[in-house]
Structure formats: C-alpha cells, structure tokens
Structure 1
Amino acid sequence: MANIGVFVGSVFGGAEEVAEEVVSELKANGHQAEMFVEPSLEDFLAYRDQVALVITSTTGQGEIPENLLPLFSALNDQFPLMPALNYGVIAMGDSSYGEDRYCGGGRRFDALLQELQAKSVTERLDIDACVHFDAVEAALPWLKNFMKKVK
C-alpha cells in the first residue's frame, strides 16, 4: 500500500473536512496517510518519492488559501524537480465566480506539480460548490479510483 501525504489548503474549513474524510478512507483501505494543514516544504519533500494528495479550496481571485500558499511559493521558488512523485489534486471552488477563478487554487497547484515533473495519478477533481453541497460526497468516488492507481 502507498504512503500518502495529504496537503490541505482551507479558508473556512471545507477542504479540511474533506481531507479528514479522505485520510480516514485511505487508512481504512490499508494506506498510510498523514494530513498537513500548515504544510512546510520539508513536509512535502518527504513524499517526493511517494504520493502526495493536495486538497484545496480557492480564495479571492482564484488564489491558493493562506495556509497552503507558503508551500506553493517555496515549491515555485526552489523548483525541486520531483519525477518520482505521484500526486492527485482535489480542487474546490464555486463556478459562479467565473471560469478563470473557478477552482483556481487547485488548478495552480496542479500546474506547478506538472512543471516539477511529478506524475498525476488521475485527472484533477474539481468540486463545484454550486452543484455539490457536500464536497465529501463528490470526493469519495474519485478517491476510490485514485486508491486503485496508487497501490
């Protein structure tokens, strides 16, 4: 089974709630999983040969939440190539704010990880608050597919 670091960007707690359920589900399926709510670059790099799952909401003009922004900035500034990293992204947003802002935090993180040569395990999941009032409900089917691919 995989060792998975779950890195959370949350403004009002929604992404953190999804992450808690995801970590619980990962563990129930035999994976090792640890959640990071104030992740550092060192936390993230510890998984560079394993699996990282980024779960983030979007704030402002399609930006990354404040608690995840230092990690994003450090990865962007130091640009450590990570070809052995397998990753997934669950992006949360609200499509009523416009297509350019919708799930912007997750889209930006996904793009950066691709630039760092990490390998996406499966397509990013974009959860629209206008459609899914329970983000956990939307995330769990995607997670099942993700878990199959990281065994």
Structure 2
Amino acid sequence: MSTNQGSAKWNGGLKSGNGSISTLSGALKDFPYSFSNRFEGEKGLNPEELIGAAHASCFSMALSMMLEQAGMPPEHVHTQASITLDKDGDGFAVTKSHLDVIARIPGAEAQKFEEIAAQAKAGCPISRLLSCEISMAAQLEA
C-alpha cells in the first residue's frame, strides 16, 4: 500500500483570497493558486489542472505496463488529460476527463493497441477514482 499526501491552505474569501498547494514529496511547495486561476482564465495552477496531470501520468504508466505485458513495449506514450469543470446546481462538478493518447510502438497492431488502451483507461487507479465520464482518443504514431 502506498499513501501520498497533498495539502492546501486558503486565505480570505473565495474571490479575493488566495491559497497555496503542497505535496509531501516537496515537488510542489506552497505553490500559489486563486479563484482567477480556476474560474477566470488567469494563467496559473488550479485543482483541475492537477487532476489532469495525475490522470495523464497514471494512465500512461498503466498503458505502458499493459503494452509491455502483451509483448508490445512502447518507445513512448504521450497523454494529455482535459478536465471539464461544469456548473452543477449551486456549485461546480468535474464532469469529464478526456484522454488524448499517442504512442509509438514499432510493429504494433492498431486494434490490439486500442483494446489495451481501453483496458488501461478503465483500470488505472486515477480513472477508478474519478466518478465523471472518461473518454479517450488513442492513436499509434507512425
């Protein structure tokens, strides 16, 4: 079993306040975030961006493992996760995570790759954590 930790501090009101995010590993230490980063398009970190990075990295590792187990070791897997935050009643909800995947696997059969990618999408730990719709477009790179 592995236990990891992330923490956040928030100061002040929602729109006028600001916060910082840290991880136990120190990869993020007091990294700033704010309402405007999340809801007004201002450049900067926000929770959905972190979820996207977590989903993309988890999926990429799961897919690489499953491809290797199937005798199709990838040269590389590049994944981008797009997280959708929608208005939900009086609040907001993460409603979708879309994975765009490009993998280079010499000699791979497209149908087998797509089957394994679908299994990785369903089975990676972050996919299993998310209760939103998860879609994917996976392609082999020539």
Whether these two folds match at TM > 0.5 is no
Instruction: Decide which structure has the larger Cα Rg and report it.
Output: 2
Relative contact order, higher structure (CA 8 A, sep 6+): 1
